[in-house]
Structure formats: C-alpha cells, structure tokens
Amino acid sequence: MLIIGEIAINNTALVTGSSGFIGFHLSSLLLSCDWTVIGLDSMTNYYDVNLKKARLAKLNENLNFQNYTGLVQNEKLLEKIFSKHKPSIVVHLAAQAGVRYSIDQPLSYVESNLIGTFQILEISRKYSPKHLLIASTSSVYGSNKEFPLNENQRTSTPMSFYAATKKSNEIMAHSYSHLFNIPTTIFRFFTVYGPWGRPDMALFKFTKNILADTPIDVYNKGNMVRDFTYVSDLVKAIFLLITKIPKKPNSRKVIFKNDSISDVAPFRVVNIGNSQPVNLLDYIKELERVLQKNAKKNFMDMQDGDIHKTHSNVSLLEALTDFSPKTTVRQGITEFVKWYKAYYV
C-alpha cells in the first residue's frame, strides 16, 4: 500500500494495451516493483499477433499479472474488471496507432481511440480510481514550428486523423476530470523505440530490410527530425508520474512556472521525450553502424499526415519527477538490434 499525501494506493494497476509495445514494458516494470497488474488487450491483427502473444507469455510468467482479452470499448468487460479488481491506478495505453493507417482506416480510430477512451472515462467516473493516466502523442502538436514543444502550446492543427483522435481524447478527459473530479494525467509520447517494438515503426522496418538487402523507404528524402525516446526511459517516466497526482484547483500548488495543470480540474499534460532531436539520416547511420551493413535507400516524398520535426521540452517532467530520458540513439539502437537478432534471426 502506497500513501501519497492523504491518498492510499493499493498497488493494483489496470494497464490497457498490456500486450502492446509500451504496455508490455510498463507492465513488466510495475511487476518488477511488486505491483499487481491487470492487463487488458484486444490482440488485434494490426501487426503480427504472434509478437503480442510472445509479450503476453512473458507477462504471464509473473503470478501478479492477470490478463483479460477483449476490446477496451467493451462496457461489460470493463465493468467485470473494475468490480472484481478495483484498481487504484488506470494507465490507458490501448489505442489504434499509426499516422498513415489512419488515412486508410479511420473508422478503427473512432472505435478504438474515441469510443474506447470514452468507456474508460465512464468506468472511471463510476469507480473513481486514485489516478487515471492516458497516453497521447507528440502528433497533437501538428503544424507548430516553435521548438522545443511545450505542453502549453496550441494543439489545434493536427496533421493526421490519428492525431485528431488523440487530441479529442485529451479534451474528453479534461471534461470528465472537471465534472467528476477524476485526477488525470495525459502524457504525450515522442517517437518511442526499443526492444519488442511495433513492426510498423521505422526502426523495425529499417532493420528488417537492411538485413534482407532490401531498400528502405526514406521519406521527405531524409529531411526529417525526430525526438527519439527509448522505451525504458518512457515507462520509467510513466511509473514516476503515477504518484504525481493532480489535485483540485483549490488545493493544489503550481510547482513549476510553466505547469500545464488545469485551472478548473485535477488535470495535467506532460511531455515524455528525449529532448535531443536527431536527423533521420543520422538515425539510419547509427543503425548501419550497429548492423555493420549499409542500407539501400529509396528516397521518397513526404507522406500525407506526417510532420517534419518533433522536439520535446521536458522541463515539467523533470520538475515533477527529477527524471528525464537520457538514453542516446546509439545505446537504444544497439539494444534494439540485440533483441531483434535474438528474436528473429
């Protein structure tokens, strides 16, 4: 049992999307710290289900993990989970991911991201967890060109439908936080990578193609900059934020001059990024160095829905947790390749 101020937390967390890339790493970290983790994952076939099954198998090795398979938008399933386990902490990671896929399959984003998050908000309204944490994305910053990006900048110009649904999640969550006093933290991820990653992401595809002597697609002719965030850093930040519970406006203190905490709700937005943007071609060079093999590059135009640059300001994360991601792309890519070869080669 954790005591935070006057709040008792029972060390039971519901993690939605627990067999996904980030959900798996967060669940593993929680379990290693003696938490009880209730996992919920739909195991959809957006990418190789066998990879999700392998992650799940590792989680199932821990007796403090209990898995449920189903859609996050399933109201009856959520009622079953909350009535039985009564989690103090809810980390909502389940979502339909991917910028480009949202152009071709927008309905899946409505169902997973909008309706699914609505059901999480509704069940949280009923059972009042001590802290609700919801994943968003750096994509919500859209066409912003003032870098580094901070939590108080405008997010009204999403460049993809995926980003639009995640921005909608933020707005929905704020309204529920205000109306029903649900302490809520939104975290915006910046280009997460690492072992057990998603096959649709750049590092995974680059590694696979380079090893197979197949050309890699390099969009915008390589003129792209990303704030690459190693997954272990990301989940450590989430873990540390669990105990940083936003308070009601009449009882809180602004601990940081640029705090994003709401004036009308126990609600805060926090960036989680490495804050060291890297040019895409330099990222590829690091991968070539680790693989000891040059990539055949197919230079292409910018894709619809994509953005040129991301660069996070993580001052608020540091102020709240005394932590900021520090893993370099050289270290992170080395660890990814080590995992990839052990798993696939």
Q: What is the CATH number of the domain that holds 50?
A: 3.40.50.720
β 12-16/89-92 pair status:
parallel
7: confidence class by pLDDT, cuts 50, 70, 90: low
Beta bridge partners of 269: 186
User: Residues 315-337: pLDDT tens digits?
Assistant: 999 999 999 999 999 999 999 99
In a domain, 216, yes or no: no
Does the active-site annotation cover 162? yes
List the domain range (segments joined by +) for residue 250.
Answer: 2-191+231-273+312-321
Is a pLDDT exceeding 60 seen at residue 6? no
pTM of the model: 0.95
In a domain, 171, yes or no: yes
Is a pLDDT exceeding 60 seen at residue 80? yes
In a domain, 132, yes or no: yes
Of the candidates 210, 220, 181, 205, which has an alpha carbon nearest to the alpha carbon of residue 305?
220
Length of the chain: 345
Q: Is the dihedral of CA 3, 7, 13, 15 positive or negative?
A: negative
Q: In angstroms, what CA-CA distances link 71 with 94, 108, 122, 160?
A: 9, 12, 15, 23
Q: Hey, what are 136's tokens? A: 């968003």
User: Residues 298-316: pLDDT tens digits?
Assistant: 999 988 888 889 999 999 9
In a domain, 25, yes or no: yes
Collapsed DSSP state (helix, strand, coil) of residue 187: strand
Q: In angstroms, what CA-CA distances link 99 with 137, 162, 304?
A: 11, 6, 9
- Position with higher pLDDT, 179 vs 304: 179
User: Residues 222-258: pLDDT tens digits?
Assistant: 999 999 999 999 999 999 999 999 998 776 565 677 8
Task: Tally the domains of the chain.
Answer: 1
In a domain, 197, yes or no: no
CB 177, CB 265: distance < 8 Å = yes
Q: How many CB atoms lie within 10 A of CB 256?
A: 14
User: Residues 108-164: pLDDT tens digits?
Assistant: 999 999 999 999 999 999 999 999 999 999 999 998 989 999 999 999 999 999 999
Helices (H), the chain: 21-32, 49-59, 75-85, 101-104, 106-109, 116-127, 161-180, 202-211, 231-241, 280-291, 315-321, 329-344
Beta bridge partners of 2: 9
In a domain, 292, yes or no: no
In a domain, 208, yes or no: no
Q: Is 35 exposed, middle or buried (0-12, 13-18, 19+ CB in 10 A)?
A: buried
Q: What is the DSSP string of 112-152?
A: IIIIHHHHHHHHHHHH--SEEEEEEEGGGGTT--SSSB-TT
Q: In angstroms, what CA-CA distances link 58 with 23, 75, 95, 249, 259?
A: 13, 27, 21, 41, 38
In a domain, 169, yes or no: yes
Phi first, then psi, for residue 30 (nearest 5°) are -60, -45
Phi first, then psi, for residue 66 (nearest 5°) are -130, 130
Selected catalytic residue, list 162, 176, 283, 340: 162
Q: Is 292 exposed, middle or buried (0-12, 13-18, 19+ CB in 10 A)?
A: exposed
